[in-house]
Homo-oligomer: A and B are copies of this chain.
């Protein structure tokens, strides 16, 4: 039996919902359906695969080894499917609308990223003959990987070591050091350099925490939702943070920046799905690497 026949995307959605909720009832509700057909669908899936996916223990469910594998692989497969749908649809709309067949690229960028590089990139690309229209999609502080994987974006600017480039093609664009950003009046603001360890425990000035994939690292510092809030909190002397050099562009007079000696460099990459064949995308990457 061909394994391609064994998994319908509908079943994948069902299974992932159950695996995330760890509860048939809630999963069914989230899927907008009743619980019994959901139970039956999962049973059918298990029978077809010949594998037990969930351990039904009274009081909730838990994943088997096979179930864990399917969560991982299935998520990737489902993302690939929705990406296929999104990109196909966009390709069709573009062809309809512009008639010229002018493509449209969606570029995901970290909201807080350097505007300078982005502007140079867009300006440079616009010069290019046959350049596609570029829509800039600000993702949260992270999440560009997700955007790329599920087709909401065609290409992204990512920053190691914060984003993982795993599974994508990429080109390095820029490499910069990191700086500590602290209140202008603070004693350490006078220093010409700092170490990570020094910044990590300044008495009375905890490190700000921001969310990667929705979860905040533990610690005493405030939870940061956007850059403006962060700027305020630093200016008020409530917190300190570490950022790439290019953050100097948006500092206030109440802020002080001190280079870090031992922080890993922040590398900006332009990143795209490995299987992409778009000419417009290739041109954008070419432009980017020439900057």
Contact = CB atoms under 8 A, between A and B. Distances in A.
Interface in A62-105: 64-66, 68-70, 72-78, 80-89, 91-95, 101
A37 to B, nearest CB: 16
Contacts of A60: none
Contact of A169 (B75, B80, B166): B166
A4 interface: yes
B169 A85 contact: no
A88 to B, nearest CB: 4
Given A4-B85, A8-B10, A85-B3, A151 B73 contact: yes
Contact of A81 (B12, B49, B86, B94): B12
Given A3-B89, A51-B89, A166-B275, A66 B95 contact: yes
Contact of A82 (B4, B10, B53, B151): B4
A24 B12 CA distance: 28
Majority SS at the chain A contact face = helix
A150 to B, nearest CB: 8
A23 interface: no
A62 B169 CA distance: 30
A69 B91 contact: yes
A66 B91 contact: yes
Interface string A2-16: 111111111011000
Contact of A70 (B4, B8, B88, B167): B88
A66 B84 contact: no
A169 B168 CA distance: 9
A93 B4 contact: no
B85 A166 contact: no
Contacts of A9: 4, 7-9, 81
A274 interface: yes
Interface of A: 2-10, 12-13, 49-53, 64-66, 68-70, 72-78, 80-89, 91-95, 101, 151, 166-169, 273-277
